[in-house]
Chains A and B, each alone.
Chain A
C-alpha cells in the first residue's frame, strides 16, 4: 500500500468513527458542513484546477440545487432521493445553458458570463415571489426522507454528508483519472496541441463544467435541507471566495490537496472562533497576496 492510500484509509476510518468520539452537536454541525465543502471544492477544482477556467458560477449551481430541491420537497412533497437527483440534474442542465455559449469564446467572456449567470439567478429568486417568496425566503424545509427514511438527527446527517462527500470524491476521482481528466489538463496546458491530438476542447470543458454544476447543485440541495431555510442569499459570492482559497491553497488541479484544504478551512475558523467578518478579512488578504505574489501557481 502506498503512503497516499494508507493516508486515505486512515482518513476514512477517522471519518467513520468520529461521531463515536465527538458528541457535541456544534462540532457535528461543523463536520456536516465540512462534507458540503468537500463536494463544492471539487466542483470548483474541476473547472478552475483541471480546466484552468475561472468560474463564478458556483453560487449559481449551488443556489439552483438548493431551490429546486426545496421547492420539490415543499410544494410537491417529493422523496429526497428523487428531489436531490433532479436538483443535481438541474445543476448539470444549468452547466449546459451557461457553458454552451460562453465556453466557445474567450476565457474572459467565460468569467463574465458565469458571473452574470449567478447574478441573474439571484434576481430571479428575489423577484419570482409566487414561487420563491422573494427575500422572505423559504422556511421549514423538512428533514430529507430518503426512500421513506427520515434523516433527522445530527448523527444521521453526519453520515449522509460523509456518504455524499465520499460519493463525490469517487466520482471526481474516476473522471480525473480517466482520459477525460487527461483531456482537461491537455486543453488547459496547450489548447492547440490538444486540438491537434483530436481532443474536442469545447466538449471536454463543457463536460467538466456540467459535472461541476451537478456537484455544486447536489451540495446546495443537501445544504437547504440541513439548514431548513433558504433565501436568495444562497446565490451570494462569499462562498466562492472561501472555495477559491481552498482550491488555490490546496493546490488547484490536484486531486487531494483541495479536499484537505476544504476540511482544514471549514473546521479551523470555527474551532478558532473567528467571527465571519475577521474570516472574510483574512481570506481576502490571503487571496490578494496570492494574486500579487504567486499569480500562476502557489507551489513551484
Chain B
C-alpha cells in the first residue's frame, strides 16, 4: 500500500483557539478512509486545510510527491483533490448536465482564445466531457433529469448530483464532507452502494460522516479526532471497540 495523502504536523488556530493541534495522518490509496469525531473536533477544518479553503498555521499537506501546503483551492483541485461540502452545494441555475460539465472545468487547460476560435482540441475535450457526463448521469440514475435545472431536484437527487460532479475529473483523492447527512434511510443505502462503486473504480475516498453505522460499514480504516487532536486510528472493529471513542462522543 502507498499513501496518496500525507498530513504532517498540521496546526490551525482561530484567534487563539486551537482547532487542529499538530495532526499527522496518512490516507492509503484505493481504500475508503473515514474521519469521525464529535462536533467541533476539527474534521471540517482538516478538510478545509487539505483542500486549500483554509490556510494552516503550520504543518504540511502532501499529495503523493506534490506539496499542497498553502496552495489556493483552485490549484489543489487541479492537482487532483476534489471535495464536497457539509452544506449541500450544487449550481441551482444550471441544468443537471451543465452542473456536471461545469464540474469538469478543472480538466480544461486551454485558453479563452482557443475556446473562442473553437480549435479542434477544444471541441474534442468538450465532446469527451459530454460523453463523460452521460456516463455519470447513468451511474447516478440522473439520466431522466439531465435537462432539468438542479434547483428542481429532490434533496437526495442533489446529493447524487453532488457526488457525480466530484467524479467528472477522476480525482486522485475525494474528500466527502458528510455524504449522507439529512438523507432518508432508503437513499442512504443507494448512496452507500454508489460510494462503494466509486471506491471499486479506484478512487481513494476520505469521508467525514456522523452516521457511524455507515462509517463502520464501508470504511477500511478510520481516524478519530477529538478537540483538534488525533485520538486514535484503526480498523472499524478496533475503533468501534475502543472505549475512548464512545467517551469522546458522549462527552
Contacts and interface: CB of A to CB of B under 8 A. Distances in A.
Q: Do A and B interact?
A: yes
Contacts of B169: 198
B53 interface: yes
Contacts of A185: 91, 93-94
A207 interface: yes
A197 B112 contact: no
A174 B94 CA distance: 17
Contact of B91 (A174, A189, A198, A207): A189
A179 interface: yes
A183 B53 contact: no
A196 B82 contact: yes
B interface secondary structure, majority:
helix
B116 A196 contact: no
Closest 7 CB pairs of A and B: A198-B106, A198-B77, A193-B89, A195-B73, A197-B103, A182-B102, A186-B102
A199 B102 contact: yes
A16 B111 CA distance: 35
Nearest to B77: A198
B115 interface: yes
B40 interface: no
18 contacts: A178-B116, A179-B108, A179-B126, A180-B112, A185-B93, A185-B94, A189-B93, A189-B94, A190-B90, A193-B90, A193-B91, A195-B74, A196-B77, A196-B82, A198-B74, A198-B78, A199-B106, A201-B74
Contacts of B112: 180, 207
Given A193-B85, A197-B105, A199-B105, A182 B74 contact: no
Contacts of A198: 74, 77-78, 105-107, 169
Please classify how large the interface on chain A is, using the bins under 10, 10 to 19, 20 to 34, 35 or more: 20 to 34
A116 B98 CA distance: 37
Contacts, number: 75
Interface in B88-127: 89-94, 98, 101-108, 112, 115-116, 126
A99 to B, nearest CB: 15
A183 B105 contact: yes
Interface of A: 174-175, 178-180, 182-183, 185-186, 189-190, 192-201, 207, 253
A199 B74 contact: yes
Contacts of A178: 115-116
Nearest to B79: A198
B172 interface: no
Contacts of B115: 178-180
Contacts of A183: 102, 105
Interface of B: 51, 53, 73-74, 77-78, 82-85, 89-94, 98, 101-108, 112, 115-116, 126, 165, 169
B55 to A, nearest CB: 14
A190 B151 CA distance: 13
A118 to B, nearest CB: 26
Contacts of B82: 196
A200 B74 contact: yes
A175 B117 CA distance: 11
Contacts of A174: 116
A234 B83 CA distance: 48
Nearest to A197: B103
Nearest to A171: B116
A197 B53 contact: no
Contacts of A200: 74
B85 A196 contact: yes
Contacts of A195: 53, 73-74, 77
A16 B92 CA distance: 39
A193 B83 CA distance: 9
A200 B112 CA distance: 13
A133 B165 CA distance: 57
Contacts of B106: 197-199
A111 to B, nearest CB: 22
A179 B101 contact: yes
Given A178-B115, A196-B83, A186 B101 contact: no
B239 to A, nearest CB: 29
A192 B74 contact: no
Contacts of A175: 116
A200 B169 CA distance: 16
B74 to A, nearest CB: 5
Contacts of B92: 189
A119 B170 CA distance: 49
Nearest to A202: B74
Contacts of B89: 190, 192-193, 196
B101 A182 contact: yes
B102 A197 contact: yes
Contacts of B98: 182
A197 B102 CA distance: 7
